[in-house]
């Protein structure tokens, strides 16, 4: 599904990622962890065309490097953001409707007068709003929602495009333990079945509850890749990320 070879990202004299090679298989849930500043979000930004990079990234045999973000998302690679990017002055439903812009089945004729197609899009959007638990907030402004609900909205916006590869950047950031459990269950039920998912996260409960394989970054380089239980026991991972105290 995704093959990353020698990916390097530099900002002037600063090397944010250096010679990173990873792969994600069809249907796999890959976790990506590491300390702050290790390059996790930089990796997602490079994969989605936001940051220029060197090396090679193949997504379903298409080379992504050099493609603009709008082309990449139309190929079926969709992301959420660590720092929320909801349209705060639009309703929850309209946020999800807007995320369908540029999908292959959306033609200009549909925009100017395709009532049947418009009804189908609205039905799909409303269905996802319901499934992420925001049915009662469909007509509420997104900016009025609490943080946990806004993160659910971002997940709905990503899923409405039915991506083949979904990149989740700290989907439980800022959530309480109970909210994190709810988000973990939601991702497992809605996002993971039938697609490849890469999850960037600090909370080990979410990572171990979802991921079939784990990659650890430190100073822009992978230091461990493998099954989560085995990777989390490695001394270099404990030293770089988890520390000596037990984690939850």
- The number of CA neighbours under 13 Å toward the Cβ of 41 is 12
Report pTM.
0.90
pLDDT of residue 247: 41
The Cβ of residue 20 has, within 10 Å, a number of other Cβ atoms equal to 23
Vertex 128: Cα angle to 191 and 123 (nearest 5): 140
For 33, the enclosing helix (H) or strand (E) is strand 29-33
Q: Which residues contact 49 (CB under 8 A, 6 or more apart)?
A: 64, 67, 68, 69, 71, 72
For the chain, list the domains and their CATH numbers.
1-76+165-248 (3.40.50.300), 87-162 (no CATH)
pLDDT at 102: 77
Instruction: Calculate the CA 168 to chain-centre distance.
Output: 2
Whole-number CA gyration radius for the chain: 18
- Report yes or no: 98 and 122 within 8 Å, Cβ to Cβ: no
Tell me which residues of the chain have a pLDDT lower than 70. Answer: 104-116, 241-248
């Amino acid at each position: 599904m995704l093959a990353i070879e020698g990916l390097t990202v530099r900002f002037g004299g600063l090397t944010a990622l250096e010679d990173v090679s990873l792969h994600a298989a069809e249907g796999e849930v890959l976790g990506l962890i590491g300390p702050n500043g290790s390059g996790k979000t930089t990796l997602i930004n490079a994969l989605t065309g936001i940051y220029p990079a060197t090396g090679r990234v193949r997504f379903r045999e298409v080379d992504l490097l050099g493609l603009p973000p709008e082309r990449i998302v139309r190929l079926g690679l969709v992301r959420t953001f660590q720092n929320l990017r909801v349209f705060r002055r639009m309703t929850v439903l309209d946020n999800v409707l807007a995320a369908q812009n540029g999908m292959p089945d959306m033609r200009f004729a549909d925009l100017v007068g395709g009532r049947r197609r418009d009804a189908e899009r609205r039905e799909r959007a409303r269905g996802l709003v319901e499934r992420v638990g925001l049915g009662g907030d469909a007509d509420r402004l997104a900016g009025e929602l609490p943080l946990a609900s806004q993160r659910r909205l971002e997940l709905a916006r990503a899923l409405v495009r039915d991506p083949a590869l979904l990149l989740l950047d700290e989907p439980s950031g800022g959530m309480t333990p109970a909210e994190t459990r709810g988000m973990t269950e939601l991702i497992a039920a809605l996002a993971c079945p039938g697609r490849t998912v890469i999850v960037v996260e600090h909370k080990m409960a979410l990572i171990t509850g979802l991921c079939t394989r784990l990659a650890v970054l430190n100073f822009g380089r992978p230091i461990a890749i493998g099954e989560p239980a085995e990777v989390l026991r490695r001394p270099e991972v404990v030293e770089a990320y988890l520390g000596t105290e037990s984690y939850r």
